[in-house]
Each structure stands twice: as C-alpha cells, then as structure tokens.
Amino acid sequence: MSKGQVGAELRLVTPGMVVGPSSGKRAGSGMIAENNEFIATRVGWLNEQNNVVSVQPINSAYMPRSGDLIIGFVAEVRNNLWFFDVNGPFQALLPMSLAPWKVEFGSTRQHLGIGDAALARIQEVDETHNMVLTMKGVGLRRLNEGAVVSIPVNLVDTLRGDNNTTLSRIRDVTDCRIIVGDNGRVWIHGDAENMHVARQLIQTLNEEGHKKTFESAVQALENERGEH
Amino acid sequence: MVELVPSLLRQELDRLAADGQRIDGRGQFDGREVHLEVDCLYNAEGSAKVVWGDTIIYAGVKFEIRTPWPDRPTQGSLMCGAELRPVAHRKYEPGPPSPESIELGRVVDRGIRESGCIDMEKLCIVPGEKVWGVMIDIHVLSDGGNIFDAAGLAAIAALRTAVVPAERFDVGEDHTLLVNGTPIMASFKRAGGRFVYDPSEEEELGGDERIHITLGDEGHLHSLQKGLKGVFTPSEFAEILAVAEQKCSELREMVAEKEGN
Amino acid sequence: MGGYGDVKLLRDDGKRLDGRAIDEMRPVTIEAGVLPAADGSAMVTHGLNVAVAAVYGPMEAHPRKIQRQDRAVIDVRYNMAPFSTGDRIRPGFNRRSREISKVTAESLESVVLVERYPRSKIRVEIEILAAEAGTRCAGITAASVALADAGIPMRDMIVGVASGKIEDTVVLDLDKAEDNYGQADLPVGILPNTGEIAFLQMDGDLSIEEYNLAMEYNHKAAKEIHEIMVDALKRRYEGGEN
C-alpha cells in the first residue's frame, strides 16, 4: 500500500493514511497525531514547513474566518439588518450600523434587496459559526454591475497567484475588473467580449484545477491577445 | 428549498440576450453535448444512462403481470414515474414526491403514451386475465439543467431496448418489447427575455417560464407543457417549434444508433 | 438468510457457482467525482451491484431541533432505485432502508471529525442502481469516497465488506444466490488504518470459530478494497500539482 512520506516531493494523501512519525513535529490542518504517527484527514497534498506537517486540501467547503474578503448575496432583509449567503454553511449578518450608508430603521430594503450582491468583510465569527459582516472599509460596496462566478475555495490562491501576480495578469489580458473573494466567488466586470474571455479562463481553472495548466492558459491568452 | 436568484445573474442574462449570447458561449438554440448509453443496469429489463452537460439521469424499465381493467380486458398498461431525490442537487429535499417530480414524470409519460409507440393490445397475455404492466422509472442523479429532455431521452432509450422477461414469469420466451416510434422531447427556457434551447443550471435559476415539446417520428406533437411563471406569444412558439423539430430528429438518430450496437 | 440447505452452492471442485474460491471477492471498481452537482461523489461497482453516493455540505442543520451545538449531524439516506432489483420496488422509504440509513450514518459519524462543524449537517445520499447482494457494503464504501472527495475531514475511511456461510463453509462476499440460500451473512465496515470496526450487522447462524474466520476474510478484503478507494481518489486528483 502506498504511504505518503514527509519529503520534498508532492505527495497525494487520503483520509486515514499514515504519513510518518510525529515526533518533534506538529500537526497542522488536515492532519492529526495518534500513537506517535501523523494521520491525514483529508485528500490533498502533503506539506511540511517549519516542523508543521499539514495537508493542502484539494477540495474543501468555505469556512469563514474573520478578516476574509467575501462576495455575498442578500438572502433575507429585516428592518435593521441583512442576512447574506456567503457560500458557507451559515448565513452572515450585516447590521445596519456596519453598512456603508446612513440607514434609517425600516429602510434597509432601499439599500440592498434580496438577491443583491455586495463586497464585504467578515468582522467576526464565533465558534458556533455565527458571523457578522461589515461593509465599512475601503472598496467595500454593493456590486451593481458585472457577474459573479464561482470557483472551488482551494483554487482562490491559484487564481490570485503570489502577491496577486496572476490576478494582475488576468486583469490586464482580459481588460476586466476582477475581484476574488476568499469565499470562492469572483466578480468580473468589463465589456461583453472581455467578460466572456475572463469567464472562459476561470472555467479552465474550474475544470483543470491545476496550477501549471492554468498558468499556461493565462500565458496562451497573453500570447494570443498580445498580437492584436 | 427555494434557491436565491442573484440580481446580477438576471441582469447578465438580459445583457447577453441583447447581444445574442449565452453565459457558456452557446448560441441561442445550441444544445450541450449528450452521451447516451443503453443496457447499463443489471436487473432492469431495459435501461439507459444519459449524460447531458452536467445532468446525469438513469432510466430503468421493469415488467409485471397484472389483471387487466374490466373495461379493457385485452390491454396492458404503461406507467412512467420520476424521482427528484436529494442526491441530484442541494436544492432537493427529502420527503414525499414533490410537485416538480410528479410534473417531470407525467410530462415524459404523456409524450411516450400519446405517441402510441406502445401498442397496449400487444401487452395482452391472456385476455381478461393476464396482461403486462410496463413501468419506466426515471432516476435523476445530477441536476445540471434541463432534466426534462435528458429524462425523456433516457426513458425512450430504455424502453426501446427493453426485453420482456416472459421466461421469469413462465409465460413464454423472452422477447424484445415492440416499440413503434421514438418520441423525443425538446425544452426551451426564457432567459434574458428570449427563449433558449437546452437551458443550463444558471439559465434555469435566473430565467422565467419553460416550454417542453415532445415530437413523434412524423413530427406530430404528442405532449406540450408550459411550466413556471410567464407568458409567451404565438410567434415565439412557432420559432421554437421549428427548432424542436430539428433537435428531436438529431436525438432520434442517436437513439437508433445505440439500438444498432 | 433463507437457510435452505438443499440448494447446491459449492461445486465438486470446492469452488463456488460463479467460479470464485471461497476467500475470493467479486471484482470492485470505484470512480470518484462522478456527479457534477454534488460537493463530493463516488460510484462503486461491486460484482453486479452499482452504488452511487453524493455528499452535500456542511450546511446549516434544518430543522433546528436536529442541530447539535457541539458537532455536525450526518444525515444519510440509503435508497434502492425502483429498477434495482428483480421485482420493482415502490419508491419511498421502507423499514429496511431506514434501518440501513441509521446504522450507516452512525458508523460514518465515528470517522468524520464532526466536532469541526457545530450546528451543521452533512448530507450523504446513497443510491443503489443495481442490487446483487451486498448493497449496504457497496453504499458505505461509496459514501466514504464521496466524503473524502467533498473534502470532509475524517480520521479514516470506512470499507464495506461482507462474509458469510454457505453449505457449512465460511466464504467471502456472498452473491445473490449465496445470500438467498446461505446460512449466514456478516456485513461490516472496517477502518483500514486501524482495523477497527464501525459498522456491524449479522444474521443467520455462525459458530464463534466461523465468525472469526469470516472476520479474517473481511479484513483481508477490506485491505484490497481500500487500495481501490485510494486509487480512485488519486486518479481524480493526481497530476494536479506537477
């Protein structure tokens, strides 16, 4: 039976797989230590950094953390607050006081109605998943135009690239405004043709899911569009 | 569960429609790729699997021997049912059959029944005593949009490749079920104000009414259904009917090809 | 168990009617990620059995009364398609599928790290498309791979496997005829890493020695099936980062 090993090369591990002795190291995410052994709890790539052994998951649900930049859809409106679908297991609450506008009690619907999209930050999450959003902050706003596309949460980093380098290149080559939410929702806005190109590119990422393939798709697009 | 319809999705469908485009890049009346497989399930007397874009549907045919109805002593029976179980999508919840499940089963049932492709008299074993009851069950495993067309295709393909299990019931030799015709469904959805063929999941979420048309081999109508909120004009119907004729004959050829194998 | 000793299930050469040795299992194939609409999914064929599992979630547990403040609940539905058996099954839950759903959920709760998702629910839908004895085991195997595919953290997967007794002989992995006319059936769910047992049912008649031998066969088969499960997940994802 194949066993993952803690080493330099990338190793795919599956839940229950013993990946090596745990002595002197700490278990990171996707990893538990039992009987002096590390056991993977998720499908993903084995990772060891600074004595922490973890699994970089290949597929995972969005689990909100405070500070996350998210794209949400209004699911419910009350007189003094909104509930947002943020692609997580639970809805998040935006109180009137954390909206970017001066909102009168009872006039919440005039600012954001059901189905409307907004760029927000997660202000607070407690251990039972209760979540508060804020829209006070630079760039946080209602999204009035463009489209929202979904990607698996584990591909968010691939889409952004190191220090957002990949994202900048995609913005340039597609001539679209693009915002990548930590919750796996991507907002794109541009003219019809450019938006279609951006959508196709993100679709490639969704279907392939591989860093290398995606990088070469971006490169190919740059070559193709650079010639025009 | 009622799904949330993003305002931006409806807005984008409108904008794309104005440019004659669709989200996934298809033309207004282009369909997605369809794969059909027949005779794929042990225990079903006829079976088919349809992979239609992200939609996956199985259909299985079972036979039983029953007593004919007193007023039709020489006629067997045909029944087609569908299950939209929670396996197929996050939006489907457990519980008794939903109105959507029942609608799907009945629309497919009507198309097959009314095309006359099954001669009920041929299902008679002993007049007044024993007739065959043919049951088609549609099982939706993944709803990626346009389950109606995929269900209709799976059902007729399973039926056309079914073998009557006469030996198991001790009433003669096994033989292929006689099916005279291949009724096929074509579905349209209003998205961004105009009708598109073969709606995707997003177009179903952000669109309005849908129209299902089942055509027989001669191009005759055998079942029509309008679902969801919305109204349409006679000229819109004339346009999609012409598209339906072409789509149905393409899919009919696909079924014929699979039977040959 | 039918338990009718007059049906011959073993051939004169000691093999079974389908030619298998007494400790040989039917062929198993597994594919992960087969259902585009689901968060995770798998299809298992075990002999002529076909089981498909879909996983949705974690999502907010509804209705409220099923919510647990300290962990997720696993909501399993095991269902046989109407055309999956010799005689058509009327759609809907019956006593058998309710019981199997319950014990399958409880066994999955023993491996999923449910405490990570308070107040949530993880939906596991098991659909049997073709049945030839052993569907609950194929369903457990499919559910495990689907949970892994959905990225749900688990301390181990569970392998569903069964042994039984025919003509006073312990055999691995009963087929339809052996299940109908045999003397005992022992389906279990085994954690491949530790050898622990998360699912256990049995009916029929087994001596303690026969039970031990049947379990030995089960553990051996679980190792084989586990490799196929791992292989299915690798085939779906490998090559990803290279």
Distance CA C173, CA C158 (A): 17
C47: left (phi over 0), alpha (psi -120 to 50) or beta: left
Cβ of B60 within 8 Å of Cβ of C37? The answer is no
A184-198, pLDDT tens digit by residue?
999 999 998 999 999
State the pLDDT at residue A58: 87
The distance of Cα C172 from the centroid of its chain, to the nearest Å, equals 15
Q: Pick from C237, C238, C242 the residue to mutate for testing the A interface (most A CBs within 10 Å).
A: C237
Measured in angstroms, the CA of B62 and the nearest CA of chain C are apart by 6
Residue A59's pLDDT band (cuts 50, 70, 90) = confident
Measured in angstroms, the CA of B196 and the nearest CA of chain A are apart by: 18
Dist. CA B81–CA B101, nearest whole Å: 8
Q: Considering only the beta carbons, identify the residue of A39, A43, A211 that sits closest to C148.
A: A43
| Predicted pLDDT of residue A3 | 39
- What's the one-letter identity of residue A135? M
Q: CB distance from C150 to chain B under 8 Å?
A: no
Cα C58 to the center of its chain, rounded Å: 22
Q: Which of B83, B80, B44 is nearest to B161 (CA)?
A: B44
C5 pLDDT band (50/70/90 cuts)? low
Equal CATH topology for A12-57 and A69-143: yes
Minimum distance, in Å, between the CA of residue B201 and any CA atom of chain A: 13
Which of C119, C230, C240 lies nearest to residue A58, judging by beta carbons?
A: C240
Measured distance CA(C179)–CA(B185) in Å, rounded: 42
pLDDT at C131: 97
Confidence of residue A210 (pLDDT cuts 50, 70, 90): confident
C63 touches chain B (CB under 8 A): no
Return the amino acid letter for A22.
S
Give C138's pLDDT tier (boundaries 50, 70, 90): very high
CB-CB neighbors (< 8 A) of B139 in chain C: 81-83, 127, 129
Give me the amino acid identity at A46: L
* Percent helix, strand and coil across chain A, each to the nearest 5: 25, 35, 40
Q: What percent of chain A has pLDDT over 90?
A: 78
Where is A93: in which H helix or E strand?
strand A92-95
Cα–Cα distance measured from residue C56 to residue C103, given in angstroms and rounded to the nearest whole number: 19
* Measured distance CA(C101)–CA(B169) in Å, rounded: 32
Tell me the H-state helices in chain A: 108-111, 156-160, 165-174, 192-208, 211-226
Phi-psi region of A221 (alpha: psi -120 to 50; beta: other; left: phi over 0): alpha
Q: Give the residue extent of every domain in chain C.
A: 28-236
Buried residues in B80-115 as b, exposed as e (16+ CB within 10 A): bbbbbbbbbbbebeeeebeeebebbbbbbbbbbbeb
Q: How many CB atoms lie within 10 A of CB C162?
A: 26
pLDDT digits (tens, 9 = 90+) for A145-173: 999 999 999 999 999 999 999 999 999 99
In this structure, are strands C120-130 and C73-80 parallel, antiparallel, or unpaired?
Answer: parallel
Cα(A42)–Cα(A60) distance, integer angstroms: 9
Taking the C-alpha atoms of residue B248 and residue C232, their distance in angstroms, rounded to an integer, is: 37
Alpha-carbon span C97 to C131, nearest angstrom? 13
Contacts of B81 in chain C (CB under 8 A): 82, 91
Superfamily of domain A69-143: Nucleic acid-binding proteins (2.40.50.140)
Q: Is the dihedral of CA B37, B38, B44, B49 positive or negative?
A: positive
CA distance C52 to B87: 9
Partner residues linked to C126 by β-bridges: C53, C78
Block mean pLDDT (10 aa), chain B, length 261:
91 95 95 97 96 98 96 96 95 92 97 97 96 98 98 98 96 95 98 98 97 97 97 98 98 94 60
Closest-CA residue in chain C for A60? Answer: C151
Looking at CA atoms only, how far is residue C217 from chain A in angstroms?
Answer: 18
Report residue B137 CA to chain centroid gap: 11
Subunit partners of chain A (3 or more CB pairs within 8 A) = B, C
Q: Look-up: residue for tokens 């949530």?
A: C120
C-beta neighbour count of B260 within 10 angstroms: 6
Cβ contact, residue pair C36, B144, below 8 Å = yes
Quick check: A86 pLDDT over 50? yes
Choose from A10, A59, A203, A210 for mutation: most chain C CBs within 10 A. Answer: A59
Q: Which residue of C has its CA nearest to A2?
A: C227
Contacts of B41 in chain C (CB under 8 A): 50, 83-84, 129-130
Phi and psi at C99, nearest 5°, equal -65, -45
Token pair 């129209």 in the structure block, residue: B211
Tell me which residues of chain B, numbers 5 to 64, contact chain A at a CB-CB cutoff of 8 Å: 5-12, 15-16, 19, 21, 23, 25
pLDDT at A45: 92
> What is the distance in angstroms between the Cα of B191 and the nearest Cα belonging to chain A?
15
Q: Which residues of B touch A117 (CB under 8 A)?
A: 6-8
The per-residue pLDDT of chain C, averaged, comes to: 94
Residue of B3, B80, B141 best to disrupt the C interface, most CBs of C under 10 A: B141
Our separate counts of H helices and E strands in chain C read: 4, 10
> C119 CB near a chain A CB, below 8 Å?
yes
Closest chain B residue to the Cα of A144, Cα to Cα: B8
Please count the CA atoms within 13 angstroms of the CA of A141 that sit on its side-chain side: 7
Measured from the Cβ of residue C151, the count of other Cβ atoms closer than 10 Å reads: 22
Asked if pLDDT for residue C239 goes beyond 70, the answer is no
Distances (CA, A) of B216 to B181, B187, C166: 7, 15, 53
C191 half-sphere exposure, CB direction, 13 A CA radius = 21
Q: Which CATH class is domain A147-226?
A: alpha beta
In this predicted structure, the answer to whether residue A211 has a pLDDT above a threshold of 90 is no
Find all residues with CB under 8 Å of C32, minimum gap 6, and list them.
Answer: C40, C41, C42, C145, C146, C148, C149, C232, C233, C235, C236
Predicted pLDDT at A225:
85
Distance CA C46, CA C199 (A): 18
Please answer whether residues C157 and C166 qualify as being in contact, where contact means their C-beta atoms are separated by less than 8 angstroms.
no
Tokens 């953290």, located at residue: C153
To the question of domain B23-260 being in CATH 3.40.30.10, the answer is no
Task: Answer yes or no: are the C-beta atoms of B183 and B151 closer than 8 Å.
Answer: no
Separation CA A148–CA B6 (nearest Å): 9
Contacts of A30 in chain C (CB under 8 A): 153
* pTM, full prediction: 0.95
Domain ranges of chain A: 12-57, 69-143, 147-226
Are C86 and B43 in contact by the 8 Å Cβ rule? The answer is yes
C199-220 in b/e form (b: 16+ CB < 10 A) is beebeeebeeebbebbbebbbe
Q: What distance lies between CA A131 and its chain's CA centroid?
A: 17
Angle at the Cα of C194 (from C189 to C195), degrees rounded to 5? 45
| Cis peptide leading into residue B6 (ω within 30°) | no
For residue A110, give Cα distances in angstroms to A6, A71, A94.
Answer: 55, 20, 15
Neighboring chain A residues of B11 at a CB cutoff of 8 Å: 145
pLDDT at C241: 47
pLDDT in tens, C154-187: 999 999 999 999 999 999 999 999 999 999 999 9
What pLDDT does B134 receive? 98
Task: Count how many Cα atoms sit within 13 Å of the Cα of residue B41 in the half-sphere of its side chain.
Answer: 34
Under CATH, which number does the domain C28-236 receive? Answer: 3.30.230.70
Task: Tell me which chain A residues have a C-beta less than 8 angstroms from the C-beta of C227.
Answer: 1
Say if residue A4's pLDDT is above 50. Answer: no
Question: A12-57 has which fold?
Answer: OB fold (Dihydrolipoamide Acetyltransferase, E2P) (2.40.50)
Output the average pLDDT for chain A. Answer: 91
